[in-house]
Amino acid sequence: MNAGIFAGLGRSWWVLLLYGLVTTFFGVFALLRPFQAIFALAWAFGIVALVEGVISLIALFDKNVQVSKGWLALYALASIVFGVLAVINPVATAGVLLVLLAAWLVVAGIFRIVFAIRVRKEITGEWLIALSGVLAIVLGVLFAVYPAAGLLTAAIWIGVVALIYGVLQIVASFRLRSLLKGV
Domain boundaries, the chain: 3-182
Tens digits of residue pLDDT in 137-152:
999 999 899 988 888 8
Q: pTM (2 decimals)? A: 0.65
Helix axes 13-32 and 3-11, enclosed angle (nearest 10): 40
pLDDT higher at 4 or 42: 42
Contact 174, 17 (CB under 8 A): yes
- Amino acid type, 71: W
Q: How far is CA 38 from CA 120, 127, 154, in A?
A: 40, 34, 8
68 alpha carbon, distance to own chain's centre = 27
CB contact at 8 A, 181 and 22 = no
> Can you say whether the dihedral through the CA atoms of 44, 46, 48, 50 is positive or negative?
negative
Distance (Å, whole) CA 173 – CA 183:
16
What is the CA angle 176-178-183, rounded to 5? 100
24-76 pLDDT per residue, tens: 999 999 999 998 998 998 899 899 999 999 998 998 888 887 778 898 899 99
pLDDT of residue 176: 83
Distance between start and end Cα atoms, the chain: 12
Q: How far apart are CA 159 and CA 11, in angstroms?
A: 29
- The stretches of the chain forming alpha helices (DSSP H) are 3-11, 13-32, 34-59, 69-88, 90-118, 126-145, 147-182
